[in-house]
Homo-oligomer: A and B are copies of this chain.
């Protein structure tokens, strides 16, 4: 339950999707790494807050106590610390595991792919951060998912807001998780939760509300830099200064049109220390509302400068910033779209079926297909001694194979092959096999 098989159609769609994402990561100079699915339990403990209960643990069968990885970020940090790597740009596409309540219609599973891109190293401010946002922008554009918005905030600004509104530091995290709901429910409800459940005073809540309902661009950053309260807070001022720099870089990238500085964005994970971001798809006029609510964010990430240090015996820090593409949600959307369009997804790449129109020609088929394979051509034949031509052509139609290479007695004695276009039924060429045959394939 909550895990699933990926039959050929899904696997083919997934390959298409992952291909686009990985192409983008490579375009930005990332190297691939791979880490084991099994991690030591102690590596994962204390990194996910309340979510630790969702970690799958292996039975103690002797040997180390193991667990299945919960995400790709913690293993990455563990990898950096273990190998004393202080500088890398890597991507990682792999499955992670959570003992969650699966919500499969929303693309939430217990076993699912994550696609992560991260930049580790001590660099000039906001340059890697800006690249991460550019990557999100490129991928969502390349996938043609419709209009989207990338919300950006900074943990330091958020903490500054809480501080200037008089919230004690012990309540920062729990208050943030309430603020995070502002994209789904109106401010009044958020305020009620702050006051009723989290024990904030109504005045403190209103103070927070004045800030976290703001969103905008460079103008808003300038305005907050002048804000009499916020500008007095060191962390917030640092965060706002960096945010300004980030927006300058994003302007040079030409992507600020889809970026919103949004003070309500908090993101759940404890380990973020600076810029955070999350991309959401915007509703299309012709979409059903419920579909869109179901989809939610399709990418997210941020800066986590302290995580690697947690794995280093001497606590040496390696600043990191990264982004995770919500591939399962995007996959759900693509799948629905393909279903709606009635597109027939090909699950194989076969270019030609080797066929015979008469009996007793199996040897000729085996000889020809073998030469095709050796020439790098994707070819199939039916595993029958004497199939009818009709059966063979039907197979082409079912599987979307565009061509049939037909050898009958006549062709054999003439030393040629008949190449049939399955869709048009035109028998386009006769040609001597095998060398010229091969050439004509290269033109396909």
Binding site for B on A (CB under 8 A): 1, 3-8, 10-12, 14-15, 26-38, 56-61, 63-64, 66, 68, 79, 82-83, 88-90, 95, 97, 99, 110-111, 119, 121, 123-124, 127-128, 130-131, 134, 138, 249, 252-254, 347-350, 363, 366-367, 370, 373-374, 376-380, 383-385, 399
Closest partner residue, chain B, to A371 (CB atom): B254
- Find the B residue at minimum CB distance from A378: B27
Are B33 and A63 closer than 8 Å at their CB atoms?
A: no
Q: Tell me which residues across on chain B come within 8 A of A14, comparing CB atoms.
A: 34
- Do A38 and B111 touch across chains, with their CB atoms under 8 A apart? yes
Known: A27-B377, A127-B383, A253-B370. A4 touches B36 (CB 8 A): yes
What residue in chain B is nearest A374 (Cβ atoms)?
A: B138
Residues of B within 8 A of A134 (CB): 370, 373
Complex: chain B residue closest to A123, CB-CB: B383
Contact partner of A373 (CB less than 8 A), chosen from B28, B90, B363, B366, is: B28
The answer to whether B58 touches A348 (Cβ under 8 A) is no
Q: What 5 A-B pairs have minimum CB-CB distances, sorted nearest first? A: A123-B383, A8-B31, A3-B36, A29-B380, A6-B34
Copies in the complex: 2
A341 to B12, CA, bound (A): 37
Q: B residues within 8 A CB of A63?
A: 1, 99
Contacts of A8 in B (CB 8 A): 31-33, 88, 90
Which B residues lie within 8 Å of A253 (CB)?
366, 370
Complexed CA–CA distance, A1 and B66 (Å)? 11
A-B contact pairs, 7 of them (CB 8 A): A1-B64, A26-B348, A28-B379, A56-B61, A58-B68, A124-B384, A134-B370
Inside 8 A of A56's CB, which chain B residues have their CB? 38, 58-59, 61, 66
* CA of A59 to CA of B121, assembled, Å: 37
CA–CA, A350 to B30, complex, Å? 8
Partner of A83, one of B7, B131, B399: B7
Given contacts A37-B37, A63-B1, contact A380 B28 (CB under 8 A): yes
CB of A31 within 8 A of CB of B370, answer no
Q: How far is the CB of A171 from chain B (nearest CB, A)?
A: 31
**Is B33's CB under 8 angstroms from A5's CB?**
yes
Please name the residue on chain B nearest to A15 by beta carbon.
B32
A90: chain B residues within 8 A (beta carbon): 8
- Tell me the minimal C-beta distance from A188 to chain B in angstroms: 37
Contacting pair A26 B378 (CB below 8 A)? yes
Taking CB atoms, residues of chain B closer than 8 Å to A130 are 366
Least Cβ distance of A139 to chain B in Å?
Answer: 11
Contact A366 B31 (CB under 8 A): no
Q: Report the bound CA distance from A110 to B86 in whole Å.
A: 28
CA distance A38 to B385 in the complex (A): 40
The reply to whether B3 and A32 form a contact with Cβ atoms under 8 Å apart is: no
A5 pairs with B57, CB closer than 8 A? no
- Please, which residues of chain B bring their CB within 8 A of the CB of A28? 373, 378-380
User: In the docked arrangement, what's the CA distance between A184 and B392, Å?
Assistant: 46
Q: Which residue of B lies closest to A30 (CB)?
A: B348
Q: Report chain B residues within 8 Å CB of A95.
A: 37
Please judge, given known A-B contacts A1-B63, A366-B253, A383-B119, whether A11 and B27 are in contact too, CB under 8 Å: no
Query: Chain B nearest CB: distance from A53 CB in Å?
Result: 9
A131 to B253, CA, bound (A): 52
A99 touches B378 (CB 8 A): no
Q: Do B366 and A249 touch across chains, with their CB atoms under 8 A apart?
A: yes
Additional 18 contacts, C-beta under 8 A, given A37-B111, A58-B59, A253-B366 = A1-B63, A1-B64, A5-B35, A7-B33, A8-B31, A12-B32, A14-B34, A27-B373, A27-B376, A27-B379, A29-B399, A30-B348, A56-B66, A57-B58, A121-B383, A124-B384, A252-B367, A253-B370
Cβ–Cβ contact B36 & A111, under 8 A: yes
A366 and B256 alpha carbons, distance in the complex (Å): 14
For A31, the chain B residues whose CB sits under 8 A away are 8, 11-12, 347-348
Chain B: minimal CB distance from A256 (Å): 12
Report the bound CA distance from A1 to B15 in whole Å: 31
A34 touches B5 (CB 8 A): yes
Q: What's the minimum C-beta distance from A312 to chain B, rounded to whole angstroms? A: 16
